[in-house]
Amino acid sequence: MQIYSKTEIIEIAHKNINKILSDNKEPLLLNLLVEKLNNQLKDKFPIKKKCFTKHLKKYFGGTLNFLDEYINYGVIYKDNQIKIILIDNYDLSKRITLDSEWILI
């Protein structure tokens, strides 16, 4: 079994999440995004306990926390649902902040 670094997990996540969100023109429910991400990567992460989103949980505390850290993903909270959209015009490596909390200026 291959061990992936945090940097590799970030690269794999961005590449695959961007593809999933690009293929879906409408905002995608978070649980559907997680399902599609795990299904898309099941060959690289074949053991259920080690599905891809477990790595996001290990390094970021979960998929939603990962998405919240990068400005190219929009998170929509509406009607007790969480939907995710891709915001096209941003560099994938940019984060809102390096801190784990908001900074108001």
Predicted local distance difference test score (pLDDT) of residue 95: 53
Element (H, E) at 74: strand 73-78
For the beta sheet containing 73-78, the strands, ordered from the edge strand earlier in sequence to the opposite edge, are 28-29, 81-86, 73-78
pLDDT at position 103: 54
- For the question of whether the overall pTM of this predicted structure is more than 0.85, the answer is no
CATH 3.40.50.620 fits 6-86, yes or no: no
The pLDDT of residue 92 is 47
Positive or negative: CA dihedral 93, 100, 31, 73 = negative
What are the tens digits of pLDDT across the range 36-95? 999 998 887 755 566 888 889 999 999 999 999 988 899 999 889 999 999 875 444 555
